[in-house]
Chains A and B, each alone.
Chain A
Amino acid sequence: DADVTQTPRNRITKTGKRIMLECSQTKGHDRMYWYRQDPGLGLRLIYYSFDVKDINKGEISDGYSVSRQAQAKFSLSLESAIPNQTALYFCATSDSLSDTQYFGPGTRLTVL
Chain B
Amino acid sequence: EDQVTQSPEALRLQEGESSSLNCSYTVSGLRGLFWYRQDPGKGPEFLFTLYSAGEEKEKERLKATLTKKESFLHITAPKPEDSATYLCAVQGGNTGFQKLVFGTGTRLLVSP
Binding site for B on A (CB under 8 A): 4, 40-45, 48, 50, 56, 58-59, 90, 99-106, 108
Contact = CB atoms under 8 A, between A and B. Distances in A.
Given A45-B100, A100-B49, A103-B43, 13 more contacts: A41-B104, A42-B87, A42-B102, A42-B103, A43-B100, A43-B102, A48-B97, A59-B99, A90-B43, A100-B32, A100-B34, A100-B46, A101-B46
Interface in B36-77: 36, 41-46, 49
10 contacts: A4-B43, A40-B104, A42-B87, A43-B87, A43-B102, A44-B102, A56-B97, A101-B46, A103-B36, A103-B45
A12 B45 CA distance: 26
Contacts of B36: 103
A58 B104 contact: no
Contact of B99 (A4, A40, A45, A104): A45
Across the A-B interface, give the 8 residue pairs with the lowest CB-CB distance, nearest first.
A103-B43, A42-B102, A43-B102, A103-B44, A42-B104, A45-B99, A105-B43, A106-B43
Nearest to A50: B97
B78 interface: no
A25 to B, nearest CB: 12
Nearest to B34: A100
Interface string B22-33: 000000000110
Nearest to B9: A40
Contacts of B41: 106, 108
A49 to B, nearest CB: 11
Nearest to B42: A105
Contact of B91 (A48, A58, A59, A99): A99
Contacts of B103: 42
Contacts of B49: 99-100
A43 B44 contact: yes
A58 B99 CA distance: 8
A40 B32 CA distance: 23
Nearest to A98: B49
